[in-house]
């Protein structure tokens, strides 16, 4: 049952294989049908031409026989009167003696249907055969008489071969002796012609079947190649995908561990030490109060209060770094302005933020991505660039939104000593690719030093006004 469901609902690899093989199968089937039809039609035309050619040769031969026979008794028939029985007997004897081959002979019927000459089938002589038909119901003697009355003509019918006694197809040529009211003719069996035609037709069918087999073999080989290639590509791509997934998972773990380490350091080096100072100040104030020294307890208490304010500020800063509330409340522009102000105060680097009237129309994912990219870029500038001036520019335009971050630092190191972009740059690239945007990094290490990071988002991430208002209501408390 599971196999049946698998066949009914193919997986992705099976769909790819079907997509690759189905057009090939359809094309090969169409080509095979077209080739077979064309080959069959061409062969049929050739067979018909061969049949006509062989029959024409037979008919020409029969016409020559009749012409020779008529020339043989013309000196008798010409001067004879219509009732000259002696002349009729002499001509009948001449025709009865004119036999050829195994089955060739001349026959004579009068216009009343009586047989006068039939040397190879003497049982027909002096009998009236008017109305005689062959095994297929085709008139024989009546057609002879009709053709003789018209002068001459051809007739095809089934007749018994004198040599074998078997019925075969015969073609006869008949001429009329109008003065004597005779139908004189001879015929030839064309079973050899029909056998040649049948053999040619069988050979043609064999060639068509062989062509089908060749096309089928080629199609099967092509399908095997496509299937094998598809399997190799599928296995290779799956391995690459697994490797990339493992790499991405490891990078996610590394980023998580790095962020946890940073938060742990912030808590240990900042808040933990401040809170320890608060504890010592409170403990000192408690001891002095226990001794009754109220005036001496005030300085430690004041110091503890100052330390608690510092701890609260640090907690807010860490919380803002993890998830800035101003981004949800006021939008991307104020959040970046706050980020650059804090960066300037903390590092002393001259930092400038500029923007245009943007109306906060970016969707939430785009805001977070641009904020994190700016945050990562400022972190890299602080750690690695040695810059003294940083500028961030954010603006919307008819194609979407663009954020440009530039500094006058030493640039990004590249060359043999640098194998690839760092984790921060990779994180930027992945964030913007998830939103179908682009990330450009321009860096120089010559006279004009510095780095420019330009991030662009498509127009699809800008919200219409009504959706913008809805998003604001959802974010607002």
CATH of the domain at 165: 3.30.450.20
Query: What total number of domains does the chain contain?
Result: 2
In a domain, 150, yes or no: yes
Q: Is the pLDDT of residue 121 over 90?
A: no
Asked which of 94-108, 148-162, 239-253 is least confident by mean pLDDT, the reply is: 239-253
In a domain, 273, yes or no: no
In angstroms, the CA 127 to CA 142 distance is 14
CA dihedral 138, 141, 142, 145 (to 10 degrees): 140
Q: Which position has the higher pLDDT, 454 or 417?
A: 454
Show which of 141, 168, 189 is a domain's final residue.
189
Give the pLDDT confidence score for residue 203 in this predicted structure: 81
Sign of CA dihedral 88, 94, 96, 98: negative
The CATH number of whichever domain residue 407 belongs to comes to 3.30.565.10
Asked which of 128-132, 286-290, 318-322, 424-428 is least confident by mean pLDDT, the reply is: 318-322
Q: The whole model's pTM is what?
A: 0.45
Residue 115 pLDDT level (bands cut at 50, 70, 90): very high
Whole-number Cα distances in Å, 140 to 20, 111, 132, 168, 193: 64, 13, 6, 14, 21
Contacts of 17 (CB under 8 A, 6+ apart): 226, 227, 230
Each residue's pLDDT tens digit, 249-278: 777 677 667 767 767 776 766 677 777 777
Give the pLDDT confidence score for residue 192 in this predicted structure: 77
In a domain, 412, yes or no: yes
How many residues in the chain? Answer: 477
In angstroms, the CA 22 to CA 230 distance is 13
Show which of 138, 172, 189 is a domain's final residue.
189
In angstroms, the CA 389 to CA 407 distance is 6
In angstroms, the CA 25 to CA 37 distance is 18
What secondary structure, in 3-state letters, does 243-275 show? HHHHHHHHHHHHHHHHHHHHHHHHHHHHHHHHH
In a domain, 65, yes or no: no
Q: Which domain holds residue 340?
A: 324-475
Q: Is 88 helix (H, G, I), strand (E, B) or coil?
A: helix
Closest CA to 218 of 365, 28, 75, 62: 28
- Per-range mean pLDDT, top range of 101-115, 214-228, 265-279, 367-381: 101-115
């Amino acid at each position: 049952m599971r196999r049946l469901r698998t066949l009914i609902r193919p997986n992705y690899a099976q769909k790819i294989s079907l997509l690759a093989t189905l057009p090939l199968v359809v094309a090969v089937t169409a080509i095979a049908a077209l080739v077979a039809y064309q080959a069959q039609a061409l062969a049929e035309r050739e067979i018909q031409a061969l049949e006509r050619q062989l029959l024409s040769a037979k008919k020409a031969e029969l016409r020559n026989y009749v012409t020779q026979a008529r020339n043989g008794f013309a000196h008798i028939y010409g001067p004879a009167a219509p009732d000259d029985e002696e002349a009729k007997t002499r001509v009948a004897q001449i025709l009865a003696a004119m036999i050829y081959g195994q089955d060739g002979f001349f026959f004579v019927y009068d216009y009343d249907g009586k047989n006068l000459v039939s040397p190879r089938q003497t049982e027909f002589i002096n009998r009236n055969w008017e109305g005689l038909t062959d095994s297929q119901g085709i008139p024989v003697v009546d057609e002879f008489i009709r053709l003789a009355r018209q002068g001459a003509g051809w007739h095809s019918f089934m007749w018994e071969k004198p040599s074998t006694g078997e019925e075969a197809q015969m073609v006869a040529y008949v001429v009329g002796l109008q003065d004597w009211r005779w139908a004189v003719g001879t015929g030839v069996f064309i079973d050899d012609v029909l056998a040649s035609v049948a053999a040619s037709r069988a050979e043609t069918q064999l060639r068509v079947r062989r062509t089908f087999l060749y096309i089928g073999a080629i199609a099967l080989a092509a399908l095997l190649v496509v299937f094998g290639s598809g399997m190799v590509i599928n296995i290779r791509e799956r391995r690459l995908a697994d490797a990339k997934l493992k790499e991405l998972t490891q990078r996610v773990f590394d980023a998580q561990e790095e962020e946890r380490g940073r938060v742990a350091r912030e808590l240990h080096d900042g808040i933990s030490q401040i809170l320890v100072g608060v504890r010592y100040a409170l403990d000192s104030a408690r001891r002095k109060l226990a001794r009754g020294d109220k005036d001496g307890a005030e300085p430690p208490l004041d110091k503890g209060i100052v330390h608690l304010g510092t701890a609260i500020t640090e907690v807010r800063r860490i919380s803002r770094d993890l998830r800035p509330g101003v981004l949800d409340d006021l939008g991307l522009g104020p959040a970046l302005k706050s980020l650059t102000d804090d960066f300037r105060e903390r590092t002393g680097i001259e930092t400038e933020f500029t923007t245009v009237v943007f109306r906060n129309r970016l969707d939430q994912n785009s805001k977070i991505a641009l904020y994190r990219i700016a945050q990562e870029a400022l972190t890299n500038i602080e750690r690695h660039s040695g810059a003294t001036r940083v500028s961030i520019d954010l603006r919307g335009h008819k194609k979407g939104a663009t954020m440009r971050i530039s500094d006058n630092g030493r640039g990004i190191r590249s060359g043999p000593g640098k194998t690839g972009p760092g984790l921060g740059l990779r994180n930027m690239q992945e964030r913007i690719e998830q939103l179908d945007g682009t990330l450009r990094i321009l860096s120089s290490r010559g006279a004009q030093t510095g780095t420019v990071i330009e991030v662009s988002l498509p127009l699809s991430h800008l919200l219409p006004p009504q959706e913008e208002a809805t998003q604001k209501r959802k974010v607002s408390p």
